[in-house]
Structure 1
């Protein structure tokens, strides 16, 4: 059993210094590189005289320097906040305002002005060359290890604090149930998306190699197919949406990827259609469906989707609960779906600098931290099934989106009088599109392009509605509020 993330990483570097830890499109780095450079960063942070345990924002893409910064921060006792280059300036500003970091490590140029010191990529290279490569970490189990910001209401993302104890609960489960030992693992999601943690730490703790598929490659299907074919993959970690795209490639099969033995899915619903196609292409591979909110450290249920399960269920189960975690269903009747409540060592301590939101979502039960997910579910024997959301939070292509956040920025578009974000579902109960029902400010309707451009600088790309539906007015409920449920029913009436 792994007892300390940073100690184990040092042990890996000592035992196999020349083993590849990171492969970014052929640019490789070893465990020794990761150990030495992260130690240099940790030594540098000690010279910055930051407040003890204050977080550090790390901005950039899916590069090795980002990983080095993460580990360096953790070694120095500072939680890292991964922020992706696709983040809007409004989101960056909001994260800075909420997190109040005393330092930003900008692996890529920071697009906003900040009032705190910024360590650039050039600075990092100098740090690697001039500062000691030895460092003794004293990070405690209940110290915050990283903070991932999720979508939040009223335009304010929430920072989920994950401790080393939370992370160990997840990593030990992954290591025990799935063979990560010296495996080649696909790292595709951006670091600001907690699904990346499913690839990141189980791989590094078990001496494997992370094979990176950056967003610059996934943006072009032809380039992505060619790049994937060159990667020696054994474990695949992604949302179902990515594999749906890959299945468009006729060469994405067992014959052309003979070593690919395990598919791990999380972040959104896995449909029977996707699982069936994948099973046909990779009949020898294990297809695993997992579930878990960011607040419960990536995932906490898993089930292998076998041909028998595909024949039994119209909507796939999300898994058996991992050891050490408790799940209860808050419903009026045993036979009815209810809110999924999670308790265990994997549950976050709460949202950074947001006591009100923390109090509304987290509580303690029998000495364990618990979280109200807002997800509806039910058990069939020991198998957990997902039935949708209690509120208006959705997942699109694996990204969690709170409709209220999109609505907040729709209200700021000068071309509109009013606007509401609405999910469009497909026949598998999966969100296929994000739409917006809007009331224009003038008689002349603005173009779809103009509206998307108005939101582009305010929202993450995946949060910008793909289509705008124009109305003279929006329906209201008895409380005088816009009847979002009525609009959702309307746009899905002919789904």
Structure 2
């Protein structure tokens, strides 16, 4: 029997489709490229390129520094910043030293950062970018200190990195009460995902040159991050300033040697507005992987015409099940057979049940809520037993998660998606709790009461958020000035992607029989059948 102790390499035994095979420890695999080909480019961002040698030496130095801080093992470390190379150094440095990391984007409101700190109770904060507020009672490695630490040359012994069922990273999503939830993803969860992405379901190129589009606080970023580094490939990273400026974006994209595209469907829909975004101008681009929101038939069909030889994959998965758990290649046949695209077949090691309101399994092809269990499902939300009881339970000895997604599963296992069972939506790839946004809008000084609802387009995806507002007496002079004032104030408390795009004013909001605001009535008004 082969064990980690019986070989110099840290190998783990994994099952895939009933067969045993051995995979090398994630951290050791990434570090190995520094030894075998240290000048290989690991990170390409804003004209700056960093090698695997730099990735190892910098993360080793940081790990040794964290060890010297004598923090409690397995207690998380917040990593605050944008998308620079130092963010990845901080992730790996934390994990090498035995700590999960919590990525927090530099554009997060201060209140959100404060809440995450209160909920997660981190051992430390690595401020890759300067912190906008003081976090009391937490040790902080400032960006200046991080720069000095990374100049040190150390010989680090990787003896206690995160492994097995220990938490590797924690992604915070929005919560229904305005309080974010921290999803704990273990090392085993992550490796199951990485091996799936690198496996035969996708058949990606051996030399991975992957696009990195979303912020690291969004779990879609993991789809390119760790499969690429585990393979010794290169991450080609787009900054928010680049993606926000169409001219800059299409000056930058042709210069990137990307062969695998990973993004939300919304982002590629924007890119399709550029006529030169096609196979003739990007001949090396052979694979497209989409996740984070529904891939519409219109977007997929347009992309297939532009890139007729490329492999286009629709994937699906909640943050609570490690990025994605199902896939289907969108071929011309799939486009012919489905008006609304299916979300694919579950990956090996993950099982799904379609259940009714009583959690009882439903027959094939019948609509119900999707419950998933298996090797990708999170252990739960950090320090949140109430939400864990609501969302997680045991199925056949495995942790199971209630996705809240309405699906039907065909006899061959193909999943078709029919929307959400609650008031949670996806907009531009971001998961948004409507009640969360409404609560924040209601707290704004000009607003007495509010409800926020989605506006759907013909492709069944959310095109915008609309806030129905009951104003405070005599505070709103006209409907042209007030939205700007409200939005300006809301930017202090919520992320930009959560801001409603339109405000509608009412003297009162409709109530349901139990006296609560009837959100469904407003949704039906905005989206008449």
User: Which of 409, 434, 458 matches 2:440?
Assistant: 409
Which residue number in structure 2 is paired with residue 129 of structure 1?
A: 151
The secondary structure found in structure 1 opposite 2:177 is helix
Residues of 1 paired with 2:58 and 2:159: CA distance? 14
Residues of 2 paired with 1:259 and 1:371: CA distance? 38
Which residue number in structure 2 is paired with residue 258 of structure 1?
A: 283
The secondary structure found in structure 1 opposite 2:305 is helix
User: Which of 371, 377, 383 matches 1:347?
Assistant: 377
Equivalent pairs, count: 494
Whether 2:195 is the aligned partner of 1:172: answer yes
Which residue number in structure 1 is paired with residue 345 of structure 2?
A: 320
Which residue number in structure 2 is paired with residue 162 of structure 1?
A: 185
Residues of 2 paired with 1:15 and 1:457: CA distance? 48
Residues of 2 paired with 1:407 and 1:388: CA distance? 20
Residues of 2 paired with 1:161 and 1:57: CA distance? 13
The secondary structure found in structure 1 opposite 2:98 is coil
Whether 2:33 is the aligned partner of 1:12: answer yes
Distance 1:370 1:3, change over 3 A: farther
Whether 2:62 is the aligned partner of 1:41: answer yes
Whether 2:496 is the aligned partner of 1:461: answer yes
Residues of 2 paired with 1:137 and 1:196: CA distance? 27
Whether 2:130 is the aligned partner of 1:109: answer yes
**CA-to-aligned-CA distance 1:154-178 (integer Å, 9 cap, x gap):** 2110000000000011001001133
Whether 2:210 is the aligned partner of 1:185: answer yes
Residues of 2 paired with 1:24 and 1:454: CA distance? 33
Which residue number in structure 1 is paired with residue 408 of structure 2?
A: 378
TM-score calculated relative to the size of structure 2: 0.92
Cα offset for 1:52?
Answer: 1.7
Residues of 2 paired with 1:435 and 1:411: CA distance? 13
CA-atom RMSD, angstroms?
1.2
Distance 1:180 1:84, change over 3 A: farther
Residues of 1 paired with 2:116 and 2:333: CA distance? 45
Residues of 2 paired with 1:291 and 1:470: CA distance? 36
Which residue number in structure 2 is paired with residue 359 of structure 1?
A: 389
Q: Does the aligned pair in 1 maintain the 2:405–2:419 contact within 8 Å?
A: yes
Whether 2:431 is the aligned partner of 1:400: answer yes
TM-score calculated relative to the size of structure 1: 0.98
Cα offset for 1:36?
Answer: 1.0
Whether 2:398 is the aligned partner of 1:368: answer yes
Whether 2:265 is the aligned partner of 1:234: answer no
User: Which of 53, 57, 72 matches 2:93?
Assistant: 72
Residues of 2 paired with 1:321 and 1:348: CA distance? 16
Which residue number in structure 2 is paired with residue 450 of structure 1?
A: 485
Cα offset for 1:483?
Answer: 0.2
Which residue number in structure 1 is paired with residue 520 of structure 2?
A: 485
Q: Does the aligned pair in 1 maintain the 2:366–2:409 contact within 8 Å?
A: no
Distance 1:84 1:33, change over 3 A: same
Residues of 2 paired with 1:210 and 1:133: CA distance? 26
Residues of 2 paired with 1:137 and 1:237: CA distance? 33
Which residue number in structure 2 is paired with residue 270 of structure 1?
A: 295
Which sits farther off after the overlay, 96-105 or 390-399? Answer: 96-105
Task: Structure 2: state its 5+ residue gaps.
Answer: 1-21
The secondary structure found in structure 1 opposite 2:150 is helix
Which residue number in structure 1 is paired with residue 11 of structure 2?
A: none
Residues of 1 paired with 2:261 and 2:393: CA distance? 34
Residues of 2 paired with 1:336 and 1:411: CA distance? 38
Distance 1:68 1:133, change over 3 A: farther
Residues of 1 paired with 2:33 and 2:74: CA distance? 26
Q: Does the aligned pair in 2 maintain the 1:60–1:108 contact within 8 Å?
A: yes
Cα offset for 1:418?
Answer: 0.2
Residues of 1 paired with 2:270 and 2:30: CA distance? 34
Alignment of 1:20-31 (within 5 A): 20-31=41-52
Residues of 2 paired with 1:122 and 1:131: CA distance? 17
Which sits farther off after the overlay, 379-388 or 163-172? Answer: 379-388
**CA-to-aligned-CA distance 1:159-203 (integer Å, 9 cap, x gap):** 000000000110010011332532211001110000000000011
**CA-to-aligned-CA distance 1:315-372 (integer Å, 9 cap, x gap):** 0000111111101101375243111111011100000110111111111222211111
Distance 1:11 1:411, change over 3 A: same
**CA-to-aligned-CA distance 1:266-286 (integer Å, 9 cap, x gap):** 000000100011001000100
Which residue number in structure 1 is paired with residue 506 of structure 2?
A: 471
Which sits farther off after the overlay, 343-352 or 171-180? Answer: 171-180
Q: Which one scores higher on RCO, CA 8 angstroms, separation ≥ 6?
A: 1
Which residue number in structure 1 is paired with residue 10 of structure 2?
A: none
Cα offset for 1:405?
Answer: 1.0
Residues of 2 paired with 1:54 and 1:398: CA distance? 29
Which residue number in structure 1 is paired with residue 173 of structure 2?
A: 150
Residues of 1 paired with 2:309 and 2:98: CA distance? 43
Q: Does the aligned pair in 1 maintain the 2:322–2:377 contact within 8 Å?
A: yes
